[in-house]
């Protein structure tokens, strides 16, 4: 099982981190050990002093595929949820300043929260999918798929040009503006529309 992540897929988020707007999807990966499921607690890593949440919609791949045409990409995922791409922002900035890869800031254990899955059909039939993250019962991040730079189908097609998609792979589709820090004792809750799909305590 592979976890693909798309960076800078919302223009306002790219701007808030002073990153250029990409002309193609920005892809990075996390290992299976990054997964955090079933509302389990997240333990603040001892190697960072600036851990950030990045709330994202996540797609579940349901069939194998390589070099998938964009017009057929919708057949390759069957469910959607909301998750968190935890980021050690201080480590990421240190790595970037040295022009080094920053997997250690993104791909560490339990850095990929995944909520409960919803069937894709009722969601993709809507004009847009709204999602949000609450920290300590206050909304801190909101997203709308109308603001995506690269659509779900575009992302799937693009990734499949380089990697064979396999059943059970996950794709984190990018975070909107509003990312921010978490601290021990915080409670994070993610929702699609008014459906709460995960609750995570920071320990």
pTM over 0.85: yes
Report the mean per-residue pLDDT for the chain. 95
CB 190 within 8 A of CB 133: yes
What is the predicted pLDDT for the residue at 45?
98
What is the predicted pLDDT for the residue at 173?
98
CATH of domain 3-31+38-201: 3.90.850.10
CA distance 184 to 47: 14
CA distance 68 to 157: 5
């Amino acid at each position: 099982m592979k976890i693909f992540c798309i960076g800078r897929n919302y223009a306002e988020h790219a701007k808030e981190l002073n990153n250029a707007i990409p002309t193609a999807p920005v892809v990075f990966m996390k290992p299976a050990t990054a997964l955090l499921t079933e509302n389990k607690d997240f333990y603040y890593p001892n190697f960072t002093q600036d851990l950030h949440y990045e709330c994202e919609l996540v797609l579940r791949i349901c069939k194998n595929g390589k070099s998938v045409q964009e017009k057929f990409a919708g057949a390759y995922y069957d469910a959607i949820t909301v998750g968190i791409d935890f980021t050690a922002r201080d480590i990421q900035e240190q790595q970037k300043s040295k022009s080094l890869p920053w997997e250690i800031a993104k791909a560490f254990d339990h850095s990929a929260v995944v909520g409960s899955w919803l069937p894709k059909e009722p969601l993709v039939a809507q004009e847009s999918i709204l999602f949000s993250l609450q920290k300590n019962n206050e909304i801190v991040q909101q997203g709308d798929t109308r603001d995506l730079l690269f659509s779900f189908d575009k992302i799937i097609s693009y990734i499949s040009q380089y990697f064979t998609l396999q059943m059970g792979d996950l794709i984190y589709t990018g975070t909107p503006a509003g990312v921010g820090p978490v601290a021990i004792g915080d409670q994070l809750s993610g929702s699609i529309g008014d459906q709460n799909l995960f609750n995570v305590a920071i320990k």
